[in-house]
Structure 1
Amino acid sequence: MSKAQMREQMANGAGFIAALDQSGGSTPKALALYGVDAAQYGSEEEMFAEIQRMRARIILADDFTSKKVIGAILFERTLGESIEGRGVADYLWNVKGVVPFLKIDKGLEDEANGVQMMKPIPGLAATLAKAEGVFGTKERSVIHEANAEGIAAVVAQQFDVAREVIAAGMVPIVEPEVNIHSTTKAQAEEMLKDEILKNLDTLGEGQDVMLKLTIPSTANLYDVLADHPRVVRVVALSGGYSTDQACDLLSRNGKMIASFSRALTEGLSKQQSDAEFNTALGGNIDKIYRASL
């Protein structure tokens, strides 16, 4: 199957993107919620092996197919792992029909000007060159307050990285998250929308991006971004909302689909039987799918 088919699915497919990209920083928390205590793994290797087993269990579940899940974001280490003898990206697309993405950011700088920029991404060109079968990337920074200078800097950095990803023949998911607890969330989102529009207008024909944004305080605020000719799709992050909250808020935004991580895995546990696990995951998938329609 070709990049063109992947692109068509991302632009027009009904469903959502599963964020399975827990990294070194977020893995312990994700495992704790999954019922795996830190005492149960002795090293980083064992920790990553545990989260890979959790990811594989999700991907292998009956409801995890392109009928409802149109894409999945992976952590870099996951590209080297396999499921049923196939590389994870290969398995996702060629067995499940789910478009693979790769998280490329290396975490966040300390807060300055009300935002957290991305840390430098060393060896990005090499990472992109070896990401075989991967359609696009995801890179995250965070906005904590309505600071014009900070927001402009975050968006400019995001688009600099996006251009490098585009040059490698991939589609970047630009993710300037707005903290859901920010006291100036609505104002920050207005500023963010304007900055993104400004940057989108600098892209040429074929330089297309996706956007991953916090569900806005004003419903449908980002429709103007979804309609921009350089935008393949606008997706929403759950940002700390519960699954029900995130789905309720998302359903009010007609041109956004979900790209949830924690909200997708809510209520799943290692201790569940496969039947219990699949029922719980299937319920979450169905909820998020319906909210994304």
Structure 2
Amino acid sequence: MPSRQLPAGRMPLSIRQLRFFVALSQSGNFSRAAETMAVSQPALSAAIRQIEHLLDTRLFDRTTHSVVLTEAGQSLLPHAWRLLTTADNAFQDMSDTLQRSRATVRIGSVPSALPAAAQIVAGIDQDAHRVNLHLTDGTSDALIAQLHRGALDMAVCVASLIEEGLVSTPLIEDEMTLVLSREHPLAGAAQLPWSALAEMEVVHFTSGSIGEISAAAMRENNIVHSRRYRVDHMESLFGLVESGLAAGVMPRLYVRGHDHEALAVVPLTQPSIRRKVVLLQGARLAAEHPSAAEIAGYLAKALPGGLAAVWSGNRARSG
């Protein structure tokens, strides 16, 4: 069934009214939502009725035991979250500007790119730019969701399809590699085809973009992943490989800082599988947050070299 369209035009809702709407959508209960918002239940009920009147749309289905979002309410919720997050950030930015004459810029990064991003951020003269730079990590999906909500100004992600409202700058293509114990007979290889994994016990991350990429490549080459060993953390994978129990499949950026005495990293070819690392930002960032747009422009220029240095350094040390 197609989604119901919300009324076009200006929606004269206050920040407080949006907070009432989000609180009720989270709790599914008028009493709990009223307690969260520190108002009486009749006051909250009246506020919700007023919101629905202003939008000319029923946002909640009410029964004796539950309160659930309608289809229109579900469509409105992510926009409400984005507006509230943006408002909270704007209030904080205004406070920082008044108290410290600085703007806050929020940067996200997938873990494998964060070390390079951190080195570049550390080299930015925040006093000269009059900014406070915040840096956080997360999965690509989580970072993109935070971009849409306004919780981040930009993010270094692994992305294939660019979502509406975001602008992408390519940074580097990160190759998939085979991680082996230094005692493995193939540890000294300059590169290996995926077919070389056929007789190995192979582990890889079972979730996220890395799991999707490696699982697809293994399926295409008739490689079966290990039934005995499953991991979701880098240290676990390295531990299995170092022990000689298994070989691991990882993007090259993820093997930054591994024990080069114990582990070897060999590029996988035929085919060469690469994940695209990009810098994402909101399409209106320059208009809405000029200081953040300036930092994004700097990162877009500096990060390819920073990531390539990590990538090349890993290649040299593991060769």
Superposition TM-score tier, normalisation by shorter sequence: under 0.3
> TM-score if structure 1 supplies the norm length?
0.26
Q: TM-score, normalization: structure 2?
A: 0.25
